Structure 1
Amino acid sequence: MNYLWSPLARSQLSKRFPLFYPSNEPSAIPISISLLFKDAIHLYTCALVLRQLQIYRSTKNIYQGVSTICTTLIAIVFSFGIFTYACSCYNLPAGDSGRFGIFFVEHVNYLWVIANIIQSAKYVPQICLNWMGLCTKGVSSKYILLSLFSEIAVGLCSAFLLQGTEFYKKPYNFTPAFVSLSNVLCLSCMFYQAQYLYQGKKPYLPRGK
C-alpha cells in the first residue's frame, strides 16, 4: 500500500533503482490490485473472527487466550516499527535520508519481511494448542482441508503465473514461496493431528478463568 499511495516510498525506490522504476512512471512499481483487494477481505474476515472470540471468551479453556509470548512479540514488532519509522522521517522534509541509514523504503521493507515471517507461522499456535490439549477440538477438518488447498493453489499460482517474469516486475504484494510452503507444512501437521494422532484420545482442556 505504501508503494501504491506514498510518494515518498515511490520516490526513494525510483532513486535507488532508476532503471527498474523510473520516477516518471509511477505505474512501473508492480502492485497487484486484485491481491490488495483479497488482503482487504482477509483482514475483514479476521476482524470478524476476533469479534467472535471476544463474544465467546467465557467458553475458552485454560490454553486459549493471548499468551505472554504473543504479547511480547506484538510489542517488539510495534516498537521496531515505530523506531524505524521515526528514523526514516528524521530528516524530513529537508531531506529524505533517514537516521542510522534507515530510509522510509527500508521501514516499509522491514515491515513486509516481518509480516511474511509472522504469516508463515500463523498456524503454529493452533498446532501447539492441539498438542497441549491432546485434541483438535474447535478446529474443523473442513477448514483445514480448504486452507490446505488454498495455500497449495496460492503457491502454484505464484510459481506458474510469475514464471519467467523479471524479478523487478513481480508484484510486491504477492505471497512469497516460503510462506506458502510453511503454511502447507503446518496445515498438513494439523490434519495429521486431527485425523490420526489424537483420534480416540481423551482431551485435556480445563476450563479457563
Structure 2
Amino acid sequence: MNYLWSSLTRSQLSKRFPLFYPSNEPSAIPISIPLLFRDAIHVYTCALVLRQLQIYRSTKNVYQGISTTCTALIVMAISFGIFTYACSCYNLPAKDSGRFGIFFVEHVNYMWVIANIVQSAKYVPQICLNWMGLCTKGVSSKYIFLSLFSEIAVGLGSALLLQGTEFYKKPYNFIPAFVSLSNVLCLSYMFYQAQYLYQGKKPYLPRGK
C-alpha cells in the first residue's frame, strides 16, 4: 500500500532505481490491484475468525491462547517496526534521509520481509497444538485440503504468470515462493497428522480456566 499511495516511498524508490522506476512514471512501480483486493478480503476474514475465538473463548483448552513465545515475537516485530519508522523519519522533512542509513523505503521493505516470514509460519502454531493434544480436533480435514490446494494453486500460478518477467516488473505485493512452499509443507504435515499420525490416539485436551 505504501508503494501505491505513499509519495515518499515512491520518490525514494525512484531516486534509488531511476532506470527501473522513473519519477515521471508513477505506474512504473508494479502493484497488483487484484492481489491488494484479495489481501483486504483476507484481513476481513481473519477479523471474523478472531471474533469467533473471542466469542467461544470459554471452550478453549489449556494449549489454546497466545503463548509467551508468540507474544515476545509480536513485541519484537512491533518494536523493530517502530524503531525503523522513527529512524526513517528522523530527518524529515528537512532531509530526504534517515538516521543510521535507514530510509523510509527500507522501513517498508523490512515490514514486508517480517510479514512474509510470519505468513510462512502461520500454520506452525496449529501443528504444535495438534502435537501437544495428540489430535487435530477442531481442524477440519476439508479445510486443510482446500488450503493446501489454494497454496499450491497460488504458488504455481505465480510461477507461471511471472515466468520470464524482469525482477523489477514483478508486483511488489505478490507472494514469494518460499512462503507458498512453507505453507504447502506445513499443510501437508497437518493433513498427515489428521489422516494418519493421530488416528486412534486418545486426545489430550484439558479445558482451560
Measured in 1, the distance between the counterparts of 2:75 and 2:178 equals: 25
AA of the residue aligned to 2:163: Q
Measured in 1, the distance between the counterparts of 2:61 and 2:96 equals: 50
Name structure 2 gaps, 5 residues minimum. none
AA of the residue aligned to 1:175: I
Alignment of 1:167-206 (within 5 A): 167-206=167-206
AA of the residue aligned to 2:47: A
- 2:39 maps to 39
Measured in 2, the distance between the counterparts of 1:98 and 1:155 equals: 36
- 2:52 maps to 52
Residues 1:96 and 2:104 are matched in the alignment: no
Measured in 2, the distance between the counterparts of 1:105 and 1:95 equals: 14
AA of the residue aligned to 1:185: L
AA of the residue aligned to 2:136: T
Structure 2-normalised TM-score?
1.00
Runs of 4+ in 1 over 6 A off after TM superposition: none
Shift of 1:96: 1.2
Alignment of 1:1-209 (within 5 A): 1-209=1-209
Measured in 1, the distance between the counterparts of 2:34 and 2:180 equals: 18
Identity of aligned residues (%): 90
User: What are the Cα deviations for residues 87-125 of structure 1, in whole angstroms up to 9, with x where unaligned?
Assistant: 000000011100000000000000000000000000000
AA of the residue aligned to 1:121: A
Structure 1-normalised TM-score?
1.00
User: What are the Cα deviations for residues 5-41 of structure 1, in whole angstroms up to 9, with x where unaligned?
Assistant: 0000000000000000000001100000000000000
Measured in 2, the distance between the counterparts of 1:121 and 1:80 equals: 19
Measured in 1, the distance between the counterparts of 2:96 and 2:38 equals: 32
User: What are the Cα deviations for residues 47-94 of structure 1, in whole angstroms up to 9, with x where unaligned?
Assistant: 000000000000000000010011111100000000000000000001
Measured in 1, the distance between the counterparts of 2:188 and 2:26 equals: 41
Query: CA RMSD, aligned part only?
Result: 0.3
